[in-house]
Structure formats: C-alpha cells, structure tokens
Amino acid sequence: MFKPDPFLISLICTVILATLLPCHGAAVPVFQDLAIAVIAVMFFLQGARLSRRAVLDGLVNWRLHLVILLCTFALFPLLGLGLHALFPHLLHPSVWLGILFLCCLPSTVQSSIAFTSIARGNVPAAVCSATTSNILGIFITPVLTGLVLGRHGASAGQGGVVAIMLQLLLPFVLGQLLQPWLGEWAHRNKRLLSMTDRGSILIVVYTAFSEAVIQGLWHKLPLSQIGLVLLVDAALLAAVLFVTTLGSRVLGFSPTDEAAIVFCGSKKTLASGVPMANVLFAPATVGLVVLPLMIYHQIQLFVCAVLARRYAAAQNQRQASQDTAQVGA
C-alpha cells in the first residue's frame, strides 16, 4: 500500500506554519539570508557526495541519455507551452509561471534511481542520466526559464544565470573538488545529509510562503485553483509517461532501458527546484511559483511507485519465461 511521503507532510506543515505565523518585519532579511546560506551548504554537500565513478560508468549508453535529456529539457517545456496556449486563463498568472518553471527543471536523482531499481531497470544508466540532468540543469534551467517565460512577457528575476552560478554552482564545484576527502564521510552519513537537504528546503519554503501570505496568497488562490493545478500536473505527467513509454519501444530500447527512460524522463526535482525558484523569482511570487512543483512532486511519487511495481512484475515474468525455455531446451 502506498504511504504518503513524510517529506510532503513536512512541506504541508511548513506551508500551514507560514500561513498562521509568517515571518515579517526584521525577521524577513534574517530568513532570506538563512535560506541563501542553507542552499549553498546543500549544494556543497551534494557535490561532496557525488561519485564521479557513477557518472563515468553510465556514459557509454549515450542514446539513452540523449532521449532522457530531450524529455527533460525539450518535451516538458513544449507540453507546458502547449497547455498554456490552450488554457491561458485556467490558472492564476503566477501559478502558470510555476507550471512553466516546473517544465524547465532537471530530473530528480534519488527517486529516479530508486524507481528504476524497483522496476529492475538499467540502474547505472539511471544514475548517470539523473546526475547529468542535475548538473546541466544548473546551467540550462535559468536560460530555458528565461526563454519560456519571455514568450509570455514574464521574467525570471534579474541576473538569474549569474545568481544560480554563485549560489548553487560555485558551492557544488567546491564540494566536487573536495570530494576525494569528503566523499567517504558523506556516504557514511547519507541519512544525516538527507535530513540537512530536506531541512534546507523547508526553510526556503517557509520563507517563500511567508512572503506570499503577506502579499495575500490565499486571497489570490482559492481552493478551486489548487484542484486545477492538480489536473494540469497530472496531465503533464500522463503525457510524458505516454511519450517516454511509446518512444522507448519505437526506438528499440530494451525493457531495462525503457524503465530508466520512463522514470528519469518523467521526474522533476523539488530539491533543486525550490532553491532555483528562490534565486530566479521575486520574493512575492516564489510561493505561488513553487506550489505546482510541490504538488507534482507527490503525484510523480505515487504514480511511479505503482508503475515501478508493474515493470518489476513484467520483468519477473520475462525472466521466468526465459528460465522455462532454457529448461525445456
């Protein structure tokens, strides 16, 4: 039975706290500076724990990686733009920005690999693709966001690329440089670092939603809008899952490669998305912008958990059939 992600519960509690007790006055710059600091630490630790060997091991399957990157940074933005063109007045303008921003984000790392593993897919390739997507996303996402939002007269904040490089890329690179000395320690303390990552995101979410609440978030966004965000997010995920599944089979990928393409190509990262939104967008809009991403995060976990089990069952059936054929021969 599927259980709600504990992190999602923490996010919901954080939003409730920001709604009831938003930070204001002199506390605002303190929380903003704290958010920048914890994000820098989070990306530094991500760089420190990233295994270079895992990236090198998966680089040989370039066709698979190319398909996943095209799904992440081309298919998603095209679908987002298409939905916006068809239903421009369906959502609040800032929420539409959030949908389009979501479409420009890189894939997740942990859940992409985990679901590929559960599905008995190509795990080394998933490790490489998810990791590459996140590294490239530091460069691609701010540029792609600017291009996508620019088509609708919106902007992603001032100096987005430079800010991303200073606040996210620089700490990540420093972590990678120190990886030979810190890598083993980071792997021994995965649980502690995971709590640090999630705590960092919660601080950013609290800061962003506090500003949004003060600016009248819940007056601008009735519950019906949240229901519509659910529908749009679900439609995006369904479309990408359909294209990745069908496309993998048309292109002749093996079932194990198909699992990696489906689970890496359909994910969007909350861990990197919230910090990027905090850098790219004005404080008054960040809360609304990250809302579609928070909802999409839970939908993708639920749907992909069910899909991964189906892939595993199909793989077990194929293996049993092969074993029977070998015995018969």
pLDDT tens digits for range 220-251: 778 888 899 999 999 999 999 999 999 999 99
- Report whether pLDDT(151) > 60: no
Question: Distance between CA atoms of 167 and 28, rounded to whole angstroms?
Answer: 19
Percent of the chain with pLDDT over 70: 85
Tell me how far CA of residue 41 lies from CA of 141, 210, 277, 296, in angstroms: 20, 22, 17, 25
pTM flag (> 0.85): no
pLDDT tens digits for range 94-108: 899 999 999 999 998
- pLDDT value for 13: 86
- Report whether pLDDT(295) > 80: yes
Report which of 325, 318, 264 is spatially closest to residue 115, judged by C-alpha positions: 264
All domains of the chain in start order, with CATH: 6-317 (1.20.1530.20)
- Report whether pLDDT(128) > 50: yes
* Contact yes or no for 265/67 (Cβ under 8 A): yes
Question: Distance between CA atoms of 244 and 263, rounded to whole angstroms?
Answer: 9
Question: Distance between CA atoms of 242 and 237, rounded to whole angstroms?
Answer: 9
Quick one: average pLDDT of 280-297?
A: 85
- pLDDT value for 44: 81
